[in-house]
Amino acid sequence: MKNRTYNKKKILVVFICAALILFGLIGRLVWLMVFDAEYYQELAQDLHEREREIKAARGEIVDRNGVVLAANRTVCTISVIHSQIEDEDLVTEVLCSELGLEESEVRKKVEKVSSMEKIQTNVDKETGDRIRKYDLAGVKVDEDYKRYYPFDDLASRVLGFTGGDNQGIIGLEVKYEDYLKGTNGTILTVTDARGVELDGVAEDRIEPVAGETLQVSLDYNMQAYCQQVAENVMEEKQAEAVSILLMNPQNGEIYAMVNVPEFDLNNPYELNTGVDENSLSDEELQDQLNQMWRNRCINDTYEPGSTFKIITASACLEEGVVSLDDTFVCPGYRIVEDRKIRCHKVGGHGQETFVQGIQNSCNPVFMDIGLRLGADRFYDYFEKFGLLKLTNVDLPGEAGTIMHKKEDIGTVELATMTFGQSFQVTPIQMAVTVSSIINGGTRVTPHVAAAVLDENGEKIETFDYDSEKGIVSEETSETMRMLLESVVSEGSGKNAYIEGYSIGGKTATSQTLPRSANKYISSFIGFAPADDPQILGMVIIHDPKGVYYGGTIAAPVLRDIYDNVLPYLGIEKNQTMVYTK
């Protein structure tokens, strides 16, 4: 049969159809690959890319002299990727011996078909490096940062610690989280459909930004010394706890804040009481941990007792209801309304001047002057001194003052308040209020954080804190410094006296509630040099056994501290004793 012309024509028709359609498809491809490309590429990228976070190193915390108080340690996470493992036995063997794990446990993970299986986290860097050196296919060693506190329990409640995601939990770590945490980076890797990362495909990497360094006003040496002293006295007096606070009364910088027993910041979930965590229910354990993490200087209130007489005296002097020469008689008690309120000296102090009254810490004297002032004015001064406000210390969880309502203050309440009972304040509140009285009337904001430094130690930001002037007049302030100096040189605070230094201070012994428990808090607030206070210290001993008078047990503690700290601060002995005759 012949291949006719019409056959050829038809073949041409078929061919032309095919060619046209193919050109149409090329056009479709151009459309997809040029004009629609971006849309599909984006979708494909979303599908292929896995985001992996790179933790940022947390900023360090350094003391005023640059001593590192909180640092980071590189730790490793060891994982296996099943599909990439070449020699299961070798991998199992190496991981077991390096990590000290049970063979069966490791083998199970090595043989498990999953995209990635974690073998162990928080492996120290040396071990991680050793495992990496084996260069085993399918074994991944990822570096990570973990918070590390070189001095374990030093200033534990001030510094605070971090949790599993390196986030601050308590203390400065949480307060300054935004500065310290840095910015995590990411690695964008391309994976196959099973989530296995592809080698040789360029990964997008956003580098993490390390957190900034926080410089604090704490002084490692003072903090460490105070802790040691506190531990000694706690043991000696078998006290429940001892808190010591050192601060600069002129600007509010806190040099040391000790609450013994401290706890180990590197193991913040272990109780410092020696109780086995396993013997407690989860709830009990959490309760006890929460108790352990409390900063008594800030989070808890107490009845300040006689140290509060500083404030009563200041208010009365400021208001002019008492002058230094006024005389009082102390029979050992005062009858207020129907109550007989005792002086700590049972036999009474007899006749005494106001100056002697404060030296003797005589309760009737303060009841008298307090009643002269009256409840309204007393309350107004209480408020004016800032006692009803928070100190705004830059640590979390500051407790407020527990105080009577103004209209509820009767004569009895007023009388007990004059010597620091029937209301509660925090130790930091006492320290700050006393500071404002002795520094010329400026209420400072107590603080720990001083500045933010970059990685080279250059200051990026210096923290400014508010202060409020005119709390008391310069005159009253000077009178108070003189009076308190005489308390130490001649009165109930003489145990804090150091030859050659002028130290002002006031002792206190307060009974805790319930009174029937016969538990006491002995405390002492002292400052030096008395004419120009550079440092204010506070010692609080909770529930000491045996002698519990503040003058007897708390004052010597501060003396011991000042004996070392004053020379350390460059305050020289034998300055002119302005007030001592």
Catalytic amino acids?
306
Q: Pattern of binders to another protein over 45-84, x per CB under 8 A?
A: --xx------------------------------------
Angstrom CA distances, 481 to 140, 438, 475, stand at 66, 6, 10
Under the criterion CB under 8 A, does residue 114 sit at the interface with another protein? Answer: no
Give least dist CB 34 to another protein, A. Answer: 7
Strand-pairing partners, residue 302, are 425
**Using CA atoms, how far apart are residues 103 and 454, in angstroms rounded to an integer?**
46
The interface region with another protein, picked from 190-198, 222-230, 403-411, 520-528 by CB under 8 A, is 190-198
For 561, residues 6+ apart whose C-beta sits below 8 A from its C-beta are 225, 226, 229, 244, 246, 537, 539
Binds another protein by CB under 8 A, chosen from 89, 104, 194, 276: 194
**Using CA atoms, how far apart are residues 58 and 28, in angstroms rounded to an integer?**
53
Binds another protein by CB under 8 A, chosen from 44, 137, 329, 460: 44
The two three-digit tokens of residue 439, written as one number = 């520094």
Give least dist CB 446 to another protein, A. Answer: 59
Residue with tokens 């303060």: 366
Give least dist CB 6 to another protein, A. Answer: 4
**Using CA atoms, how far apart are residues 512 and 515, in angstroms rounded to an integer?**
6
**Using CA atoms, how far apart are residues 336 and 567, in angstroms rounded to an integer?**
47
Under the criterion CB under 8 A, does residue 39 sit at the interface with another protein? Answer: yes
The interface region with another protein, picked from 41-49, 149-157, 251-259, 398-406 by CB under 8 A, is 41-49
Give least dist CB 204 to another protein, A. Answer: 14
**Using CA atoms, how far apart are residues 305 and 521, in angstroms rounded to an integer?**
9
Binds another protein by CB under 8 A, chosen from 18, 460, 513, 517: 18
Under the criterion CB under 8 A, does residue 329 sit at the interface with another protein? Answer: no
Residue 577: count of CB within 10 angstroms of its CB = 15
HEC secondary structure over 210-240:
CCCEEEECCCHHHHHHHHHHHHHHHHHCCCC
The interface region with another protein, picked from 12-20, 62-70, 237-245, 424-432 by CB under 8 A, is 12-20
DSSP for 380-401, please give it: HHHHHTTTTS----SSTTPPPP
For residues 170, 175, 180, 186, the Cα torsion angle rounded to the nearest 10 degrees is 80
Give least dist CB 140 to another protein, A. Answer: 19
Binds another protein by CB under 8 A, chosen from 137, 148, 193, 469: 193
Looking at residue 334, what DSSP letter applies?
Answer: E
Element (H, E) at 75: strand 68-80
DSSP for 299-315, please give it: H--B--GGGGHHHHHHH
Among residues 72, 8, 406, which one has the least CA distance to residue 208? 72
Q: Pattern of binders to another protein over 413-452, x per CB under 8 A?
A: ----------------------------------------
By CB under 8 A, the count of residues binding another protein is: 40
The interface region with another protein, picked from 7-15, 471-479, 546-554, 571-579 by CB under 8 A, is 7-15
The interface region with another protein, picked from 191-199, 203-211, 279-287, 306-314 by CB under 8 A, is 191-199
Beta strands 254-260 and 504-511: pairing type? unpaired
The interface region with another protein, picked from 38-46, 263-271, 322-330, 393-401 by CB under 8 A, is 38-46
Under the criterion CB under 8 A, does residue 41 sit at the interface with another protein? Answer: yes
Residue whose CB is less far from another protein, 2 or 405:
2
Binds another protein by CB under 8 A, chosen from 112, 124, 198, 335: 198
Backbone angles phi, psi at 505, to 5 degrees: 180, 175
**Using CA atoms, how far apart are residues 454 and 213, in angstroms rounded to an integer?**
6
Give least dist CB 137 to another protein, A. Answer: 14
Q: Pattern of binders to another protein over 201-230, x per CB under 8 A?
A: x-----------------------------
Residue whose CB is less far from another protein, 44 or 329:
44
Residue whose CB is less far from another protein, 190 or 390:
190
Residue numbers at the binding site for another protein (CB under 8 A): 1-4, 6-8, 10-12, 14-15, 18-19, 21-22, 25-26, 28-30, 32-34, 36-41, 43-44, 47-48, 190, 192-194, 198, 201
